[in-house]
Amino acid sequence: MKNLLLGIDIGTSACKVAVFDKSGSVIASCTGDYNVYYPKPGWAEQNPEEWWQAVCQAIKKILSEGKVKAEDIAGIGVDGQSWSAIPIDQDGNVLANTPIWMDTRAKDICDKLNDSIGAEQIFEVAGNSLQPSYSTAKIIWYKENQPEMYDKIYKILQSNAFIVYRMTGICSHDMSQGYGMHCFDMRTGTWNKEMCEKLGIPFSFMSDLYQCHEVVGTVTEKAAAETGLMIGTPVVAGGLDAACGTLGAGVLHAGETQEQGGQAGGMSICIDQYAADPRMILSFHVAPDRWLLQGGTTGGGGVMRWLEQQLGDYERSVAKEKGKSSLVQFNDIAGEVPAGSDGLVFLPYMAGERSPIWDPNAKGVFYGLDFSKTKGHMIRAAMEGVAFSLKHNLDIAEATGAKAEELWAMGGSANSLLWTQIKADITGKPIAVPSSDTATTQGAAVLAGVGVGIYEDFEEAIRTTVKVTRRHEPNPENQESYQKNYDIYLELYRNLKDLMSKNGGSK
pLDDT band at 506 (very low <50, low <70, confident <90, very high): very low
**pLDDT cut 70: percent of the chain above it:** 99
**Three-state DSSP state, 29:** strand
Average pLDDT on 289-307 reads 94
**Three-state DSSP state, 360:** coil
Do 50 and 177 lie in a common domain? Answer: yes
Tell me the residue range of the domain where 79 lies.
4-249
Indicate whether 446 belongs to any domain: no
Tell me which of 249, 274, 309 is where a domain ends: 249
**Quick one: which of 132, 415, 133 has its CA closest to 262?**
415
- The CATH number covering residue 379 comes to 3.30.420.40
**Quick one: which of 107, 83, 86, 26 has its CA closest to 505?**
107
Average pLDDT on 486-506 reads 90
Tell me which of 249, 278, 313 is where a domain ends: 249
Domain count, the chain: 2
Segment 24-54, tens digit of pLDDT: 999 999 999 999 999 999 999 999 999 999 9
Q: How far apart, in Å, are the Cα atoms of 283 and each of 102, 177, 182, 462, 507?
A: 18, 7, 11, 20, 30
pLDDT band at 264 (very low <50, low <70, confident <90, very high): confident
Let me know: does 102 contact 31? Beta carbons within 8 Å: no
Do 343 and 211 lie in a common domain? Answer: no
**Quick one: which of 258, 265, 260 has its CA closest to 287?**
258
Q: How many CB atoms lie within 10 A of CB 47?
A: 17
Is the pLDDT at 248 greater than 60? The verdict is yes
Do 160 and 308 lie in a common domain? Answer: no
Within 192-330, strands assigned E span: 209-210, 215-218, 234-236, 239-240, 257-261, 265-271, 281-284, 291-297
Is the pLDDT at 1 greater than 80? The verdict is no
- The larger pLDDT score, comparing residue 264 to residue 470, is at 470
Is the pLDDT at 505 greater than 70? The verdict is no
Indicate whether 254 belongs to any domain: no
Indicate whether 389 belongs to any domain: yes
Tell me which of 193, 223, 249 is where a domain ends: 249
- The larger pLDDT score, comparing residue 248 to residue 438, is at 248
Segment 87-101, tens digit of pLDDT: 999 999 999 999 999
| φ/ψ of residue 220, rounded to 5 | -80, 170
Average pLDDT on 460-489 reads 95
pLDDT band at 356 (very low <50, low <70, confident <90, very high): very high
Do 204 and 144 lie in a common domain? Answer: yes
Indicate whether 202 belongs to any domain: yes
pLDDT at residue number 436: 57
Average pLDDT on 174-179 reads 98
Is the pLDDT at 437 greater than 80? The verdict is no
pLDDT at residue number 45: 98
Do 232 and 323 lie in a common domain? Answer: no
Q: Which H helix or E strand runs over 224?
A: helix 221-227
Segment 311-337, tens digit of pLDDT: 999 999 999 999 999 999 999 999 999
Indicate whether 266 belongs to any domain: no
Do 314 and 231 lie in a common domain? Answer: no
pLDDT band at 507 (very low <50, low <70, confident <90, very high): very low
Q: Which H helix or E strand runs over 195?
A: helix 193-199
Q: Which H helix or E strand runs over 123?
A: helix 119-126
